[in-house]
Amino acid sequence: MAAKLLNFFVTGTRKNFLKQYLIPPARNYSQRQTENSGWKQRQHRAKSTLYYVSAAGVLAVGMSYAAVPLYRIFCQAYSYGGTTGTVTDEKSIEKLQKKDRIIKVRFNADIGASMQWNFKPQQTEINVVPGETALAFYTAENPTDRPVIGISTYNVVPFEAGQYFNKIQCFCFEEQMLNPHEQVDMPVFFYIDPEFTEDPKMELVDTLTLSYTFFEARQGLKLPVPTFAKH
What residues make contact with another protein under the rule CB under 8 A? 81-84, 87-88, 90-91, 93-94, 96, 122-129, 132-135, 137, 153-156, 159, 162, 166-174, 176-179, 182, 184-187, 189, 191, 224-226, 228-230
Q: Is 10 exposed, middle or buried (0-12, 13-18, 19+ CB in 10 A)?
A: middle
Instruction: For residue 201, give Cα distances in angstroms to 95, 159, 205, 210.
Output: 24, 11, 8, 19
Give least dist CB 171 to another protein, A: 5
Between 43 and 116, whose beta carbon lies closer to another protein?
Answer: 116
Reported as half-sphere exposure (CB side, CA atoms, 13 A), residue 98 has a value of: 7
Q: Are 150 and 176 in contact (CB under 8 A)?
A: yes
CB of 109 to another protein, least distance (A): 15
Of residues 156 and 202, the one with the C-beta less far from another protein = 156
Any idea what DSSP says for residue 193?
-
Q: Which of 91, 218 has the CB closer to another protein?
A: 91
Tell me the closest approach of the beta carbon of residue 2 to another protein, in angstroms: 51
Say which DSSP state 208 is in.
E
Name the residue nearer to another protein (CB basis): 15 or 106.
106
CB of 79 to another protein, least distance (A): 11
170's CB contacts (< 8 A; 6+ apart) are 154, 186, 187, 188, 189, 190
Considering the complex, state which of residue 39 and residue 154 has its C-beta at the smaller distance from another protein. Answer: 154
We find the least distance from the C-beta atom of residue 217 to another protein, in angstroms, to be: 13
